[in-house]
Amino acid sequence: MRITDKMALDAARVGQSRAVQQFTDASRVASSGLRVNAPSDDPVAWSMKVRHDAQIQRMNNRSHTLNRAGGDLDLAESVLASAGDLLEEARSLAVQAANGSVDAQTRSNMAGQITSLRDALLGFANTRGATGYLFGGTATATAPFTAAGVFTGNDTAVPVEVADGVTARSNASGATAFTVAGGRDILADLQAFATALTGNNLGGIQTAIANMEAGHRQLVTAQVNTGIGAERLHSSVDVTAAALISVSSARASETEADATEAFTALSVTRAGYERAIAVTRELLQVSSVRR
Protein backbone atom coordinates (compact mmCIF):
# COMPACT_ATOMS: atom_id res chain seq x y z
CA MET A 1 0.00 0.00 0.00
CA ARG A 2 1.16 3.48 -0.82
CA ILE A 3 1.64 5.46 2.38
CA THR A 4 1.32 9.23 2.46
CA ASP A 5 2.33 11.65 5.17
CA LYS A 6 -1.32 12.29 5.95
CA MET A 7 -1.99 8.59 6.43
CA ALA A 8 0.92 8.21 8.81
CA LEU A 9 0.08 11.34 10.76
CA ASP A 10 -3.65 10.55 10.81
CA ALA A 11 -2.88 7.11 12.20
CA ALA A 12 -0.69 8.73 14.85
CA ARG A 13 -3.36 11.32 15.58
CA VAL A 14 -6.04 8.63 15.97
CA GLY A 15 -3.74 6.58 18.19
CA GLN A 16 -2.89 9.62 20.27
CA SER A 17 -6.54 10.61 20.55
CA ARG A 18 -7.47 7.12 21.68
CA ALA A 19 -4.58 7.07 24.15
CA VAL A 20 -5.55 10.42 25.68
CA GLN A 21 -9.17 9.25 25.91
CA GLN A 22 -8.09 6.11 27.77
CA PHE A 23 -5.78 8.13 30.00
CA THR A 24 -8.59 10.59 30.79
CA ASP A 25 -11.01 7.76 31.57
CA ALA A 26 -8.44 6.09 33.83
CA SER A 27 -7.75 9.43 35.57
CA ARG A 28 -11.46 9.93 36.18
CA VAL A 29 -11.83 6.47 37.69
CA ALA A 30 -8.69 6.82 39.82
CA SER A 31 -9.57 10.28 41.12
CA SER A 32 -13.26 9.65 41.80
CA GLY A 33 -12.82 6.07 42.98
CA LEU A 34 -15.93 5.22 41.00
CA ARG A 35 -16.11 2.80 38.12
CA VAL A 36 -19.68 3.77 37.24
CA ASN A 37 -20.48 7.47 37.01
CA ALA A 38 -23.30 7.38 34.48
CA PRO A 39 -25.77 4.76 33.21
CA SER A 40 -23.83 4.33 29.97
CA ASP A 41 -20.65 3.39 31.88
CA ASP A 42 -22.31 0.11 32.83
CA PRO A 43 -26.12 0.02 32.56
CA VAL A 44 -26.49 -3.15 34.63
CA ALA A 45 -24.21 -1.87 37.38
CA TRP A 46 -26.05 1.46 37.34
CA SER A 47 -29.35 -0.33 37.78
CA MET A 48 -27.89 -2.33 40.68
CA LYS A 49 -26.51 0.87 42.19
CA VAL A 50 -29.97 2.46 42.15
CA ARG A 51 -31.44 -0.64 43.78
CA HIS A 52 -28.72 -0.72 46.41
CA ASP A 53 -29.04 3.01 47.09
CA ALA A 54 -32.76 2.55 47.70
CA GLN A 55 -32.11 -0.41 49.98
CA ILE A 56 -29.40 1.45 51.89
CA GLN A 57 -31.63 4.47 52.29
CA ARG A 58 -34.50 2.31 53.49
CA MET A 59 -32.31 0.44 55.95
CA ASN A 60 -30.91 3.67 57.32
CA ASN A 61 -34.45 5.02 57.70
CA ARG A 62 -35.56 1.81 59.37
CA SER A 63 -32.64 1.89 61.79
CA HIS A 64 -33.40 5.48 62.65
CA THR A 65 -37.10 4.78 63.21
CA LEU A 66 -36.42 1.60 65.18
CA ASN A 67 -33.87 3.34 67.36
CA ARG A 68 -36.32 6.12 68.10
CA ALA A 69 -39.20 3.71 68.82
CA GLY A 70 -36.87 1.43 70.77
CA GLY A 71 -35.77 4.38 72.87
CA ASP A 72 -39.39 5.15 73.73
CA LEU A 73 -40.04 1.51 74.62
CA ASP A 74 -36.92 1.47 76.80
CA LEU A 75 -38.23 4.55 78.54
CA ALA A 76 -41.69 2.96 78.91
CA GLU A 77 -40.14 -0.18 80.37
CA SER A 78 -38.19 1.89 82.87
CA VAL A 79 -41.32 3.88 83.79
CA LEU A 80 -43.32 0.69 84.29
CA ALA A 81 -40.56 -0.68 86.52
CA SER A 82 -40.73 2.47 88.65
CA ALA A 83 -44.53 2.24 88.69
CA GLY A 84 -44.24 -1.36 89.87
CA ASP A 85 -41.97 -0.19 92.70
CA LEU A 86 -44.64 2.30 93.73
CA LEU A 87 -47.26 -0.43 93.81
CA GLU A 88 -44.92 -2.59 95.85
CA GLU A 89 -44.56 0.26 98.32
CA ALA A 90 -48.32 0.72 98.37
CA ARG A 91 -48.79 -3.01 99.07
CA SER A 92 -46.36 -2.76 102.01
CA LEU A 93 -48.33 0.14 103.40
CA ALA A 94 -51.53 -1.88 102.95
CA VAL A 95 -50.04 -4.79 104.91
CA GLN A 96 -48.96 -2.42 107.68
CA ALA A 97 -52.32 -0.67 107.75
CA ALA A 98 -54.16 -4.01 107.93
CA ASN A 99 -52.48 -4.68 111.27
CA GLY A 100 -55.10 -4.39 114.02
CA SER A 101 -52.72 -2.46 116.30
CA VAL A 102 -52.61 0.52 113.87
CA ASP A 103 -54.88 3.31 115.04
CA ALA A 104 -57.17 5.48 112.93
CA GLN A 105 -54.86 8.50 113.04
CA THR A 106 -51.94 6.48 111.70
CA ARG A 107 -54.15 5.11 108.95
CA SER A 108 -55.25 8.61 108.08
CA ASN A 109 -51.59 9.65 107.83
CA MET A 110 -50.92 6.62 105.62
CA ALA A 111 -53.73 7.79 103.32
CA GLY A 112 -51.66 10.89 102.61
CA GLN A 113 -48.72 8.67 101.58
CA ILE A 114 -50.96 6.64 99.29
CA THR A 115 -52.31 9.79 97.68
CA SER A 116 -48.73 10.87 97.01
CA LEU A 117 -47.95 7.48 95.51
CA ARG A 118 -51.04 7.74 93.31
CA ASP A 119 -49.98 11.18 92.12
CA ALA A 120 -46.52 9.85 91.32
CA LEU A 121 -48.06 6.92 89.45
CA LEU A 122 -50.28 9.33 87.51
CA GLY A 123 -47.16 11.21 86.57
CA PHE A 124 -45.54 7.99 85.35
CA ALA A 125 -48.65 7.08 83.34
CA ASN A 126 -48.52 10.46 81.64
CA THR A 127 -44.81 10.26 80.71
CA ARG A 128 -43.81 11.76 77.36
CA GLY A 129 -41.31 10.15 74.99
CA ALA A 130 -39.77 11.21 71.69
CA THR A 131 -43.05 10.70 69.86
CA GLY A 132 -45.51 12.04 72.46
CA TYR A 133 -47.22 10.48 75.47
CA LEU A 134 -45.97 6.94 75.91
CA PHE A 135 -49.14 5.26 77.21
CA GLY A 136 -51.91 6.94 75.20
CA GLY A 137 -51.92 4.62 72.20
CA THR A 138 -52.35 6.82 69.15
CA ALA A 139 -53.57 9.71 71.26
CA THR A 140 -50.06 10.94 71.68
CA ALA A 141 -50.76 14.64 71.86
CA THR A 142 -52.73 14.77 75.10
CA ALA A 143 -52.07 13.26 78.51
CA PRO A 144 -53.78 9.84 78.53
CA PHE A 145 -54.86 10.04 82.18
CA THR A 146 -56.80 12.89 83.70
CA ALA A 147 -56.12 14.11 87.23
CA ALA A 148 -59.06 11.98 88.28
CA GLY A 149 -57.33 8.96 86.78
CA VAL A 150 -59.71 8.58 83.84
CA PHE A 151 -58.03 7.03 80.80
CA THR A 152 -58.63 9.20 77.71
CA GLY A 153 -56.18 7.44 75.42
CA ASN A 154 -56.66 4.25 73.43
CA ASP A 155 -54.99 0.90 73.10
CA THR A 156 -54.23 1.20 69.39
CA ALA A 157 -50.88 -0.22 68.49
CA VAL A 158 -48.48 2.02 66.58
CA PRO A 159 -46.68 -0.32 64.20
CA VAL A 160 -43.15 0.06 62.99
CA GLU A 161 -41.56 -1.88 60.15
CA VAL A 162 -38.86 -4.26 61.38
CA ALA A 163 -38.30 -5.97 58.02
CA ASP A 164 -39.80 -5.60 54.56
CA GLY A 165 -43.53 -6.05 55.07
CA VAL A 166 -43.13 -7.12 58.73
CA THR A 167 -44.25 -4.79 61.50
CA ALA A 168 -44.06 -4.82 65.27
CA ARG A 169 -45.75 -2.72 67.93
CA SER A 170 -43.68 0.31 68.79
CA ASN A 171 -45.70 1.69 71.71
CA ALA A 172 -46.38 0.37 75.19
CA SER A 173 -49.97 -0.34 76.09
CA GLY A 174 -51.04 2.14 78.74
CA ALA A 175 -54.49 0.57 78.83
CA THR A 176 -53.29 -2.88 79.85
CA ALA A 177 -50.63 -1.46 82.17
CA PHE A 178 -52.79 0.90 84.19
CA THR A 179 -56.49 0.33 83.48
CA VAL A 180 -59.03 -2.39 83.91
CA ALA A 181 -58.21 -3.58 80.42
CA GLY A 182 -55.18 -5.23 82.04
CA GLY A 183 -57.18 -6.57 84.97
CA ARG A 184 -57.11 -3.73 87.53
CA ASP A 185 -57.65 0.02 87.31
CA ILE A 186 -54.57 0.79 89.36
CA LEU A 187 -55.16 4.49 89.88
CA ALA A 188 -58.73 3.79 91.00
CA ASP A 189 -57.47 1.04 93.33
CA LEU A 190 -55.00 3.46 94.90
CA GLN A 191 -57.77 6.03 95.29
CA ALA A 192 -60.02 3.40 96.92
CA PHE A 193 -57.14 2.36 99.17
CA ALA A 194 -56.61 5.95 100.28
CA THR A 195 -60.32 6.32 100.92
CA ALA A 196 -60.37 3.11 103.00
CA LEU A 197 -57.43 4.39 105.05
CA THR A 198 -59.10 7.73 105.64
CA GLY A 199 -62.31 5.98 106.67
CA ASN A 200 -60.40 3.50 108.84
CA ASN A 201 -62.15 0.77 106.82
CA LEU A 202 -60.25 -2.41 107.68
CA GLY A 203 -62.15 -4.48 105.10
CA GLY A 204 -61.29 -1.98 102.38
CA ILE A 205 -57.67 -2.02 103.51
CA GLN A 206 -57.54 -5.80 103.32
CA THR A 207 -59.07 -5.67 99.84
CA ALA A 208 -56.39 -3.13 98.89
CA ILE A 209 -53.64 -5.65 99.73
CA ALA A 210 -54.97 -8.03 97.10
CA ASN A 211 -55.55 -5.16 94.65
CA MET A 212 -52.03 -3.80 95.11
CA GLU A 213 -50.57 -7.27 94.51
CA ALA A 214 -52.71 -7.71 91.39
CA GLY A 215 -51.75 -4.22 90.20
CA HIS A 216 -48.11 -4.95 90.78
CA ARG A 217 -48.36 -8.17 88.76
CA GLN A 218 -50.17 -6.20 86.05
CA LEU A 219 -47.38 -3.63 85.87
CA VAL A 220 -44.68 -6.27 85.88
CA THR A 221 -46.43 -8.08 83.05
CA ALA A 222 -46.70 -4.82 81.09
CA GLN A 223 -43.04 -4.08 81.82
CA VAL A 224 -41.97 -7.52 80.58
CA ASN A 225 -44.07 -7.20 77.44
CA THR A 226 -42.69 -3.75 76.79
CA GLY A 227 -39.16 -5.01 77.36
CA ILE A 228 -39.72 -7.84 74.92
CA GLY A 229 -41.05 -5.33 72.39
CA ALA A 230 -38.03 -3.08 72.91
CA GLU A 231 -35.68 -6.01 72.59
CA ARG A 232 -37.33 -7.00 69.32
CA LEU A 233 -36.79 -3.51 67.96
CA HIS A 234 -33.15 -3.46 69.10
CA SER A 235 -32.58 -6.88 67.51
CA SER A 236 -34.10 -5.58 64.31
CA VAL A 237 -31.69 -2.64 64.40
CA ASP A 238 -28.79 -5.12 64.68
CA VAL A 239 -30.17 -7.25 61.83
CA THR A 240 -30.70 -4.14 59.72
CA ALA A 241 -27.16 -2.95 60.44
CA ALA A 242 -25.75 -6.32 59.33
CA ALA A 243 -27.86 -6.24 56.17
CA LEU A 244 -26.75 -2.65 55.58
CA ILE A 245 -23.10 -3.70 55.64
CA SER A 246 -23.85 -6.47 53.17
CA VAL A 247 -25.77 -4.22 50.76
CA SER A 248 -23.18 -1.43 51.05
CA SER A 249 -20.48 -3.93 50.24
CA ALA A 250 -22.42 -5.17 47.21
CA ARG A 251 -22.92 -1.59 46.07
CA ALA A 252 -19.23 -0.85 46.45
CA SER A 253 -18.22 -3.92 44.45
CA GLU A 254 -20.63 -2.95 41.66
CA THR A 255 -19.76 0.69 41.33
CA GLU A 256 -16.48 1.48 43.06
CA ALA A 257 -13.14 1.01 41.44
CA ASP A 258 -10.53 -1.28 42.89
CA ALA A 259 -7.75 1.10 43.94
CA THR A 260 -4.94 -1.16 42.72
CA GLU A 261 -6.60 -1.77 39.39
CA ALA A 262 -7.42 1.92 38.99
CA PHE A 263 -3.86 3.08 39.60
CA THR A 264 -2.41 0.30 37.46
CA ALA A 265 -4.73 1.35 34.65
CA LEU A 266 -3.67 4.95 35.18
CA SER A 267 0.00 4.02 34.87
CA VAL A 268 -0.58 1.83 31.83
CA THR A 269 -2.67 4.43 30.00
CA ARG A 270 -0.22 7.18 30.89
CA ALA A 271 2.60 5.10 29.41
CA GLY A 272 0.46 4.51 26.32
CA TYR A 273 -0.22 8.21 25.98
CA GLU A 274 3.47 9.05 26.28
CA ARG A 275 4.27 6.39 23.69
CA ALA A 276 1.71 7.85 21.30
CA ILE A 277 3.23 11.34 21.72
CA ALA A 278 6.71 9.93 21.13
CA VAL A 279 5.56 8.17 17.96
CA THR A 280 3.99 11.35 16.62
CA ARG A 281 7.16 13.31 17.40
CA GLU A 282 9.22 10.66 15.65
CA LEU A 283 6.98 10.76 12.59
CA LEU A 284 7.27 14.52 12.42
CA GLN A 285 11.06 14.34 12.59
CA VAL A 286 11.50 11.68 9.94
CA SER A 287 10.84 13.45 6.67
CA SER A 288 12.67 13.77 3.41
CA VAL A 289 11.68 17.45 3.38
CA ARG A 290 14.39 18.21 5.94
CA ARG A 291 17.14 16.46 4.06
Partner 1 sequence: MSSLFSLLGVARDGMQAQSSGVSVTGQNIANVNTPGYVRRGVLLSARPFGRDSNGGVSVNGISRTFSRFAHGRVVEEHGRRGAASARASALSTTEAAIAPSSGTISDRVNSFFQSLDTLSGAPSDTSARLAVLQRAGALAQQVSTTASDLAAQRDGLFNQARGVAGEVNERLARIATLNRSIAEATSLGDAGADLRDQRDQLVQEVGDRLGARAVEDASGQVTLFSAGTVLVEGGNASSVSVTLDPANNLRLQVQQPGGATTDATAAMTQGTLGGLREARDVDVPSVQAALDRFAFDLSTAVNTAHASGFGLDGVTGRNLFSAPAVAAGAARAMALNPALAGQPDRVGAAGAATDLPGGNTVALQLAGLSSRALAGGTTPPAERFGAVASDLGVRLQAANAEEQLRDETVQQAETLRESASGVSLDEEMVNLSKFQRAFEASTRVLRVADELLDTLMKSF
Q: Does 239 bind partner 1 (CB under 8 A)?
A: no
Q: Does 183 bind partner 1 (CB under 8 A)?
A: no
Q: Please select the residue that binds partner 1; options are 6, 100, 101, 147, rule is CB under 8 A.
A: 6
- Give least dist CB 286 to partner 1, A: 10
Q: Which stretch in 34-42, 120-128, 184-192, 199-207 sits in contact with partner 1 by CB under 8 A?
A: 34-42
Q: Please select the residue that binds partner 1; options are 139, 202, 214, 243, rule is CB under 8 A.
A: 139
Q: Does 39 bind partner 1 (CB under 8 A)?
A: yes
Which of 70, 46, 77 lies closest to 241, judged by CA? 70
Q: Please select the residue that binds partner 1; options are 115, 131, 195, 201, rule is CB under 8 A.
A: 131
- Give least dist CB 200 to partner 1, A: 44
Q: Please select the residue that binds partner 1; options are 160, 194, 208, 212, rule is CB under 8 A.
A: 160
Q: Does 258 bind partner 1 (CB under 8 A)?
A: no
Q: Does 164 bind partner 1 (CB under 8 A)?
A: yes
Q: Which is nearer to partner 1, 65 or 206 (CB)?
A: 65
Binding residues for partner 1 (CB under 8 A): 1-7, 10-11, 14, 37-44, 46-47, 49-51, 53-54, 57-58, 60-62, 64-65, 68-69, 130-132, 136-141, 154, 156, 158-161, 164-165, 167, 170-171, 287-289, 291
